[in-house]
Amino acid sequence: MPRLTSPAIAPGTLRDLTQPVLDAGGLRLRPWHADDAAAVVAAYADPDIRRWHARSMDADEAGAWIASWSGRWHAETGAGWALALADQVVGQISLRSLDHGDGRSDVSYWVLPQARGRGVATTALATLGAWAFDTLGLHRIEVDHSVDNPASCAVATRAGFRLEGTKRGDALHADGWHDMHLHARVSGDVS
């Protein structure tokens, strides 16, 4: 069925860009490298990351996950970055989806235990949001997280993503269905 409006983001916009390295003080958001697999395996072995992301990964799965990001960039379905401090991977952030028509995406992030409490996720989310609005031309970015995850709620709030409401029974975790908070920013919001 044809749309009556032009896409908010023209097809090819992401594909025609080289995935950038985004610097935010001492934090770098950079494309994933094959040799980052050990950090991904460690992340998904962490009980908190497993709890909120409801998955685990072995070395082969981590390698495939890392390799998938370049394909998703070129297919314009998503984009992922490793978060690095002093060249050590300490987390990840991604635009999990890309809706060209409405100029919308949703974000996921995690931070390894040794880097928690240092503002890494907040800085990454604010930095990625600025790039996605200013360069990619997104109109809306959403973050959702379990209502039982106050740390993720604080990250989204500090990065200027307003709490819009609660989605009841929205995500299945290992301990059952979780209500999820929905946060969002739209282009032009002042954080």
Query: In the chain, where are the structural domains located?
Result: 22-186
Read off the pLDDT of residues 140-182 as tens digits, 9 standing for 90 and up. Answer: 999 999 999 999 999 999 999 999 999 999 999 999 999 999 9
DSSP-assigned states of every residue in 47-89: HHHHHHH-----HHHHHHHHHHHHHHHHHTS-EEEEEEETTEE
pLDDT of residue 3: 80
What pLDDT was estimated at residue 86?
93
Band the pLDDT of 191: cuts 50, 70, 90: low
- The answer regarding whether domain 22-186 maps to CATH 3.40.190.10 reads no
Q: What is the pLDDT of residues 10-34, one digit of tens each?
A: 999 999 999 999 999 899 999 999 9
Distance CA 43, CA 61 (A): 13
> Quick check: 134 pLDDT over 90?
yes
Distance CA 78, CA 71 (A): 9
Q: How confident is the model at residue 105 (pLDDT cuts 50, 70, 90)?
A: very high
What's the pLDDT score for residue 4? 87
DSSP state of 134: I
User: Rounded to two decimals, what is the model's pTM?
Assistant: 0.95
Q: Do the bridges between strand 176-186 and strand 140-146 make them parallel or antiparallel, or are there none, so unpaired?
A: antiparallel
For residue 35, give Cα distances in angstroms to 99, 105, 189.
30, 27, 37
Residue 128, Cα to own-chain centre: how many angstroms?
Answer: 8
> pLDDT for 25-72, tens place per residue?
899 999 999 999 999 999 999 999 999 998 889 999 999 999 999 999
CA–CA distance, 27 with 133 (Å, rounded to integer) = 20
Give the residues across from 144 on adjacent strands.
182
Strands 140-146 and 162-173 come out as unpaired
How does pLDDT run across 79-103, given as a tens digit for each residue? Answer: 999 999 999 999 999 999 999 999 9
Q: How far is CA 9 from the centre of its chain?
A: 19
- Say which DSSP state 99 is in: B
- Residue 12's CB: how many other CB atoms inside 10 A? 10
